[in-house]
Structure 1
Amino acid sequence: MADDSRPYRSAVREQRAAETRGRVLEAAARCFVEHGWAGTTMTAIAREAGVSTKTVHDTGTKAFLLLEAFRVRYVGRGGWAAITDDPETAALLEITDPREALAVAVDWLATAHARSADLWFTLRATARFDPQLDAAYAEHLRLKTVTFRETAEWLLRCGVVPAAAVDDEQLDRFASLVAVAMGAETYVQLVHDHGYTDEQYRAWLRRTIPALRP
């Protein structure tokens, strides 16, 4: 007689493995934010996650854990390279109504930065002196540039930013402005350094994004 329980057991194992991985990554995020790169050990992450140190090592290297923890906090899921690799995020760029597009962009950014901005700064600072992380970070920045260019095209295409036709050079400059306005660095300056509330930051984005010009 066939063993009908095998697929079920496999699904349960996969679910448990995914839950464990999630605990490890969230524990890593908390440790990196609180203690920085140098102060975070694989043993500390294991203790925070309630798992063995071997489980943490099996999840990935220390550099991978920092980068993947940022990815999870920023988008809500890991495993992506460019943000538009994530199907749910990519679907946002299909919105054509300018009011809806602006509202969605502001909500998405404010939520993502609130979850991940501290971790982003740890990642950025660490990449300067860790060769393994530096290579991954450089590739992440390249893909981030691509994503902001796609975002800039979307803002123009759906009319959030009214503009006539632009050439490639103008689009690249505009994408740079979009990156500054929407980036984690600006979020940290406004919210952490200057005391903006979440709603004040969102209001600033609602004013600033449509005022950008190529």
Structure 2
Amino acid sequence: MNGADQQQQSEQAEAAQRRAYRSTLRDERAADTRTRIIDSARALFAEHGFAGTTIAVIAKHAGVATPTVYAVFSNKAEIMREIVSRLEAEADGRQWRDRVTAEPDPRRKLDLYAAWHRTLFSSSKQVLGAALSAGSDTSVLDLREQGDRNAQDWLNPIISALTDAELLAPSLTPQRAIDRALLLSSVELYFRSTIGRGWSDDEYQQWLTEALRQQLLADIPG
């Protein structure tokens, strides 16, 4: 290889490095913008509610142009969806799933499900309250349906374990057991008990644990 070829290869390598650097820089800036929008929306939703917060206000709070917000998220519901997803991660959702999977006692799996909901709800009370305040907003109703699907994903292996161990109440099908668990662990009942009735989070968890056992388990001692 002559000197000219070596020089050309060197220049091509440097150009590739510059392109990779610019691409990485763009990705970092995009991630930073996305995070600023999410953090701003989270604070504003908690303070002013979902309906009381506009995209323009979110953009101003995040220090970006309004079209930038729309370029990243098509509407407020998409922002809320990502906030809720991040809340689960912040509450160590993956670790809780691992604990449920590793627990050998199916009844204890159900108890851990109750503990997980207490952890998630208590750590994200303001944002979840904002979502509830949106009332009949169609986009937020879609978000609630997604939340139910996520909860069912948690429940499917738990109910299967109870069924396999013949611990599920004989009057229940697996789907009816899941339905009951979804109703009992709804965020609406969490707010009704803690905000509406003044229960502590510990009292809520104890009630949910007992209610799930009473509603789902066969009448077997222990």
Fold match, TM over 0.5?
yes
Q: Deviations over 1:6-37 (max 9, x none)?
A: 54553444234223312212321222232233
CA–CA separation in structure 1 for the residues paired with 2:120 and 2:31: 22
CA contact (8 A) 2:100 2:113 kept: no
Q: Cα gap change, 1:33/1:202 in structure 2, threshold over 3 Å: closer, same or farther? A: same
Q: Deviations over 1:77-129 (max 9, x none)?
A: 9xxxxxxxx97676455334237635643442122112334434543553624
Indicate whether 1:38 and 2:46 are aligned: no
Q: Deviations over 1:121-145 (max 9, x none)?
A: 5435536244xx1673475266257
SS in structure 2 at match of 1:94: helix
Report the identity percentage. Answer: 24
CA–CA separation in structure 1 for the residues paired with 2:216 and 2:189: 18
Match of 1:15 in 2: 28
How far is the alpha carbon of 1:184 from its aligned partner? 0.8
Query: What amino acid maps onto 1:97 in structure 2?
Result: P
Query: What amino acid maps onto 1:211 in structure 2?
Result: Q
Q: Cα gap change, 1:39/1:138 in structure 2, threshold over 3 Å: closer, same or farther? A: closer
CA contact (8 A) 1:95 1:158 kept: no
CA contact (8 A) 2:40 2:58 kept: yes
CA–CA separation in structure 1 for the residues paired with 2:123 and 2:44: 14
Match of 2:87 in 1: 73
How far is the alpha carbon of 1:178 from its aligned partner? 0.7
Unaligned runs of 5+ in 2: 1-9, 218-222
Indicate whether 1:147 and 2:153 are aligned: yes
Match of 1:178 in 2: 181
Match of 2:5 in 1: none
CA–CA separation in structure 2 for the residues paired with 1:58 and 1:145: 30
Unaligned runs of 5+ in 1: 78-85
CA–CA separation in structure 2 for the residues paired with 1:125 and 1:151: 32
| Match of residue 24, structure 1, among 26, 29, 37 | 37
Decide which structure has the larger Cα Rg and report it.
Answer: 2
CA contact (8 A) 1:152 1:178 kept: no
Q: 93-102 or 198-207: which moved more?
A: 93-102
Indicate whether 1:62 and 2:42 are aligned: no
User: How many residue pairs were aligned?
Assistant: 201
Query: What amino acid maps onto 1:207 in structure 2?
Result: E
Match of 1:83 in 2: none
Indicate whether 1:163 and 2:177 are aligned: no
| Match of residue 109, structure 2, among 87, 101, 111 | 101
What TM-score comes out, normalization by structure 2 length? Answer: 0.68
What TM-score comes out, normalization by structure 1 length? Answer: 0.70
Indicate whether 1:110 and 2:118 are aligned: yes
How far is the alpha carbon of 1:40 from its aligned partner? 0.9
